[in-house]
Amino acid sequence: MAISAAQLCRKHNQVDSSLLEQIFADLVARILKDASSTKHRNDFKIIDSTTIGLCLQKYKWAVFRKTKAGIKVHLRLVFISENDVIPEEAVVTPAKKNDRTQMDALIDEVGATYVFDRGYVDYAAFDRYCDTGVFFVSRLKKNAGIRPIHAFKLPVESKVISDQMVYVGTPQKRMENVVRLVHTTDSEGNLLSIVTNRFDLEADEIGDMYRKRWAIETFFKWMKQHIRIKSFYGTSEQAVMNQVWISLSHFACLYSSNKKQEQRTHC
Decide if 8 is inside a domain. no
Mean pLDDT in the chain? 87
Structure confidence at residue 251 (pLDDT): 85
Residues 255 and 182 in one domain: no
Decide if 52 is inside a domain. yes
Decide if 7 is inside a domain. no
Residues 25 and 88 in one domain: yes
Structure confidence at residue 194 (pLDDT): 97
Question: The domain containing residue 175 runs over which residues?
Answer: 118-212
Decide if 5 is inside a domain. no
Residues 130 and 192 in one domain: yes
Distance CA 94, CA 165 (A): 38
Residues 61 and 140 in one domain: no
Residues 45 and 173 in one domain: no
117-155: per-residue pLDDT in tens?
999 999 999 999 999 999 999 999 888 999 999 999 999
218 vs 263 pLDDT, higher one: 218
* Domain-terminating residue out of 181, 212, 243: 212
Residues 42 and 86 in one domain: yes
* High-pLDDT (> 70) share of the chain, %: 89
Decide if 267 is inside a domain. yes
Q: Residue 108 in contact with residue 129, Cβ under 8 Å?
A: no
CA distances from 229 to 54, 84, 88, 234 (A): 11, 21, 18, 13
11 vs 108 pLDDT, higher one: 108
Residues 154 and 197 in one domain: yes
**Total structural domains within the chain:** 2
Structure confidence at residue 65 (pLDDT): 84
Residues 58 and 106 in one domain: yes
CA torsion angle for 211, 212, 217, 223 (degrees, to 10)? 170
21-32: per-residue pLDDT in tens?
999 999 999 888
Structure confidence at residue 79 (pLDDT): 87
64 vs 124 pLDDT, higher one: 124
